Amino acid sequence: MSIFELFAQTYPRLLQGLWMTIELTLVSLLIAAVLGLLFGLLSVSRTTFLRGISRVYIDIIRGTPLIVQVFFIYFGIPSALNMRLDAFIAGVIALSLNAGAYTAEIVRGGIQSIDKGQMEAARSLGLPYTMAMRRVVLPQAIKTMIPAIVNQCIITLKDSSLVSVIGLAELTQTGRLIIANNFESLKMWIIIGVMYFIPIMILSKVSSHIERKMSYGKSKN
């Protein structure tokens, strides 16, 4: 059986798995964006306690492998609470917490890259700290964050394959189930690799385009 015949036979299941991967990634990234913004702002807070909360969260998530986090959320917490957790929900929680920690660092770096004089000028005009951050600092910082955020989207899309270890029928798990039936391992992993490659390359091109636009804008200034 050729690789094209194999794809023709299995593409309905593979497309379902791909859609599950995209859905898992999009939901996780939306939640991660909220977490990243929240903890990123806490990281640059003037309150030591709030900075400490952010630092603990970021260090724990960045200091442990994602697969351990997936197992902890899917097996560990439900076992301790004597409950069952849906694999999709567990995957979303794990990916959201993981991507949120890295996004928080992107937000912190973006804010700290803005000249402190911007905040001081806004405060001298009578703006409260929160309003100055929202209207003056963040709009400038977001421009510098965009390439890193797009890169984080790519990483999260690739990391979603790790959720297959808890049985969620995303693209990688779907491929493994198909291989278990037909034993066409090499051809199937090539097909799956191409199916991951296409959206990842699209995101990579978007990131490169944004970086070129930003570099062009800076050169004109």
Domains assigned to the chain: 3-220 (1.10.3720.10)
Residue 207 has a pLDDT of 77
Give the closest residue to 58 by CA, choosing from 74, 38, 88: 38
- Phi (first) and psi of residue 114, to 5 degrees: -80, 135
Residue 220 has a pLDDT of 54
Q: Calculate Rg over the CA atoms of the chain.
A: 21
For residue 13, the Cα-to-chain-centroid distance in whole angstroms is: 25
In a structure prediction context, what are the per-residue pLDDT tens digits for the chain, which is 221 residues long? 788 888 888 989 999 999 999 999 999 999 999 999 999 999 988 889 999 999 999 999 999 999 999 999 999 999 999 999 999 999 999 999 999 999 999 999 988 888 877 777 877 877 777 788 877 888 888 888 888 898 899 999 999 999 999 988 899 999 999 998 888 889 999 999 999 999 899 888 887 777 777 665 555 55
Give the closest residue to 94 by CA, choosing from 65, 120, 129, 123: 65
Residue 11 has a pLDDT of 86
Model pTM? 0.87
Residue 217 has a pLDDT of 52
